[in-house]
Structure 1
């Protein structure tokens, strides 16, 4: 099946801002699928799939908790739908890269209201394996240079849309 005939996977992304206007980014495990195609470009903001019938804001809070342990966050704003295509993939047909053309995402800006000790990306939650082996706070305008190239246009749009929440 050509990638153009495949659907986009519904997805939410989270830009979690701390009190200093920095965003939380996670470092993906090295062996976490074929998406990591260049060394050093293995950081990203939390994101994940939306369950059938799930409210998008609820999905963002669930994904944030599953991937980072964070529950202390307040809603700031959201983007329109953004999309990116996955890179070519010829591995196992059970992998999401085989089933979907890419991801269609709505991004949410949230303000972190907890303490850094709450952030724990290594503990599996909801039966989901840990995706990140490290995390840090980063300037939103720098994150685009830390992600895999096929996500950069979406990250640029997110950075532009949420610039008012970021430190400069």
Structure 2
């Protein structure tokens, strides 16, 4: 019923092919970290990985792949959402950035503890209402929720006991 392809030869893995694959990935899907791009190339060209690092070095040299630029853009995107600095670091680490790049990006954020307090307060109000939480179990649940979103314990604790009268 279906004919098998009997004449297909495996394609030759070359430097140009690996480089064009990496460029295609970037054009098609957007930026990647260098580590992620190398992992994808190693997965596809697992039979012969000798050209993968050279192709990646070419892209880095031409500033097509720039981890710091990509990490800064992701950091700005994450900071606009209601998540804290610890969650931002976690998400950047999952993308494959080095700890030096992550620390540089998070330290360059133009946010203060007051900004993080406001973001945490929005989270608390959205899930638990405007009133300060008195019930112990509900307070623990709220603390876990706010801390899981990347905020520090001190900010989470301030938010839990906050009332609108304290301004």
What TM-score, normalized by structure 2, do the two folds share? 0.26
Higher Cα Rg, which structure: 2
Higher RCO (CA-CA < 8 Å; seq separation 6+): 1
By percentage of residues, which structure has more helix?
2
By percentage of residues, which structure has more strand?
1
What TM-score, normalized by structure 1, do the two folds share? 0.26
